[in-house]
Amino acid sequence: MTTAPATDTERPPARRDLFMAFFKIGLYGFGGVAGWVRPILVEERGWLSDREFAELHGAASVIPGANTVNLAVMLGDRFQGPAGSIAALCGLLLAPLAILIALASLFDSFGELPAVKGALSGAAAATAGLVIGNAYKLLRALNGEMLALVVAGATFASVGLLHFSFADDAAAGRSRQPRAVCGRPPPAPMSAARL
C-alpha cells in the first residue's frame, strides 16, 4: 500500500524522526539496507510516494557513494536542511557500526562453524528476496512508462545477465572481461562482428 507523500501544509518530519527512521533502516538492514528503505520511507512513514522515492533513489544512485547514504543525506536535507542530513546519516550508520564492531570481535573465533556459515547464507537470501520484492513494487509504480521500463530492462540485462561492470571499467579507463558468477563461466565476449 502506498501512502501519499507529505504535502506542503503538513509539518515535515523532525530531525528526531529522521534519525529514528534511518536508525530502523540501518538496524533492520544490517548487511544490506536496500530492501528496507522503500517500505519504511514510503509505506510506514508516508514521507514519499513511490514515484518520489524512485526519483530520489535514482538521483542517489548516480552520485558517488553508497545509494542509501546518499538518499539519507538528500532526504534529511529536503526536510530539515544540513542538520536533517546529519541526523539521518547518523541514524543510518549508528546501529550497523555498533553491530559490526561486536560481530568482528566474535567472527575470528566462530566464523568457520557450519551454523554461522548457514546463518550468513540465509541472511543473504533474505536480502535478495527483499530487493526483488521492492524492484517489483517500483516497476509497478512506473505505470507503463515505456522508456523507464526499457532502461530498467537494459540495465538488468547488462549487469545481471552479461555481467558488465560499467562503473569499474569507466573509472579504470579500460574494458574488462566478465567474471564467472555462481559457478557459471562468463558469457563469450562480444565482438563488433556479432553486434
Reading the chain (195 residues) residue by residue, the pLDDT tens digits are 444 444 444 789 999 999 999 999 999 886 678 788 999 999 999 999 999 999 999 999 999 988 999 999 999 999 999 999 999 999 999 988 998 888 888 877 887 888 888 887 888 888 888 888 888 887 787 777 888 888 888 888 887 788 777 666 666 655 555 555 555 666 565 554 444
Q: Which helix (H) or strand (E) holds 101?
A: helix 67-110
pLDDT for 7 equals 45
For residue 105, give Cα distances in angstroms to 99, 102, 108, 176.
Answer: 10, 5, 7, 36
For residue 163, give Cα distances in angstroms to 155, 169, 171, 186, 187.
Answer: 10, 12, 17, 8, 8
For residue 42, which of 104, 133, 105, 145 has the smallest C-alpha distance?
133
Task: Look at the chain and count its residues.
Answer: 195
| CA 130 to chain CA mean position, Å | 10
Which residue carries 524512485 as its cell? 54
pLDDT for 25 equals 94
CA separation for the pair 160, 153 (Å, rounded)? 10
